[in-house]
């Protein structure tokens, strides 16, 4: 029997991709099992989906942490001991530090403080792959380096609602639709130090008709996502 790939998942919302992965695992369509589901928002439907499937869950309340960071005088006192600002600044491609250094630093530091809490949960599990299933937060090199096995060994996957490298950012389907594209799609890629820039693992496309609304585009896109994500996880499982 093949040893199952141990997959950790992070979500922020409804969790339909999570559900597609749960179903693919349960039906034996992929050689994987989900070992936890973490969320940056409490009370989301995706957490209920995980609990219903008997998966461990946890929440790291990003909004609360970011608000606390804004209020505290000495944000550095909250940073993890192994945080090295120079290393992070050299690697990160998320914010323009030259443009507004103070704003960029507080962005990075608050995210690292939240990421340390995520890692405290994640490190208690035996995990081969971390899957971002609608997790709406960027990840800094602090987090990425502590998950990836080595500099070139990617262990974090993300799904993006557009055919990358077109339309990175938070509203892939919206941007595709407003641009007037006749083809839309979704992309599964590894996470690197930029936003939606890592190596592409798989893509699926669909046609956008002249009468399609944004809602139609989102619906067509999600249907493709639910096929694509399990397939990419299986590709990773088979490449081990």
Give the footprint of ligand GRF on residues 5-64 (CB under 6 A). Answer: 11, 13-17, 46
Q: What are phi and psi of 130, to 5 degrees?
A: -105, 125
Residues 58-117 that bind ligand GRF (CB under 6 A): none
Nearer to ligand GRF, 59 or 89 (CB): 59
User: Residue for token digits 């993890």?
Assistant: 80
In whole angstroms, the minimum distance from the beta carbon of 230 to ligand GRF comes to 12
Q: Give least dist CB 102 to ligand GRF, A.
A: 30
Residue 175: CA atoms inside 13 Å, Cβ hemisphere, count?
15
Nearer to ligand GRF, 37 or 148 (CB): 37
When binding is defined by CB under 6 A, the residue of 38, 141, 161, 198 that contacts ligand GRF is 161
Task: Single out the residue of 111, 69, 66 nearest to residue 92, CA to CA.
Answer: 111
List the Cα angle 182/187/189 in 5-degree steps: 155
- Which CB atom, from 116 or from 189, has the smaller least distance to ligand GRF? 189
**Residues annotated as catalytic (active site), given as ranges:** 160
- What CA–CA distance (Å, rounded) separates 201 from 236? 9
- Closest distance to ligand GRF from the beta carbon of 158 (Å): 7
Q: What is the DSSP letter of 75?
A: G
Environment class of 62 (CB within 10 Å of its CB; exposed 0-12, middle 13-18, buried 19+): buried
DSSP string, 166-228: SS-SS-HHHHHHHHT-SEEEEEEEE--SSSS-SPEEEEEEEE--TT--HHHHHHHHHHHHHHH
Window 130-159: contact mask with ligand GRF (x via CB under 6 A): ---xx------------------------x
Is 17 or 110 the residue whose CB approaches ligand GRF more closely? 17
Residue number, 87 or 136, with CB nearest to ligand GRF: 136
* Six-digit token string for 154: 């990617």
According to the binding rule CB under 6 A, does residue 198 interact with ligand GRF? no
Report the residue number whose CB is nearest to ligand GRF. 134
Rounded least distance, CB 5 to ligand GRF, Å: 19
Residues in touch with ligand GRF (CB under 6 A): 11, 13-17, 46, 133-134, 159-161, 186, 222, 225
């Amino acid at each position: 029997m093949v040893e199952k790939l141990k997959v950790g998942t992070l979500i922020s919302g409804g969790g339909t991709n999570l559900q597609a992965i749960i179903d693919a695992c349960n039906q034996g369509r992929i050689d994987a099992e989900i070992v936890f589901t973490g969320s940056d928002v409490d009370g989301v439907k995706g957490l209920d989906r995980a609990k219903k499937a008997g998966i461990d869950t946890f929440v790291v309340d990003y909004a609360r942490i970011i608000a606390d960071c804004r209020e505290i005088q000495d944000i550095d006192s909250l940073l993890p001991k192994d945080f090295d600002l120079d290393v992070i600044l050299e690697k990160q491609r998320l914010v323009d530090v030259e443009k507004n250094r103070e704003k960029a630093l507080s962005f990075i530091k608050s995210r690292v403080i939240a990421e340390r809490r995520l890692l405290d949960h994640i490190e208690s599990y035996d995990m081969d792959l971390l899957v971002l299933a609608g997790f709406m937060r960027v990840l800094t090199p602090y987090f990425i380096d502590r998950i990836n096995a080595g500099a070139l060994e990617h262990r974090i996957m993300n799904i993006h609602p557009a055919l990358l490298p077109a339309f990175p950012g938070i509203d892939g389907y919206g941007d595709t639709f407003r641009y007037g594209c006749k083809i839309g799609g979704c992309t599964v890629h590894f996470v690197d130090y930029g936003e939606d820039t890592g190596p592409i693992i798989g893509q699926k496309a669909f046609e956008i008709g002249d009468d399609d609304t944004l809602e139609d585009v989102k619906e067509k896109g999600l249907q493709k996502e639910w096929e694509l994500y399990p397939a990419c996880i299986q590709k990773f499982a088979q490449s081990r």
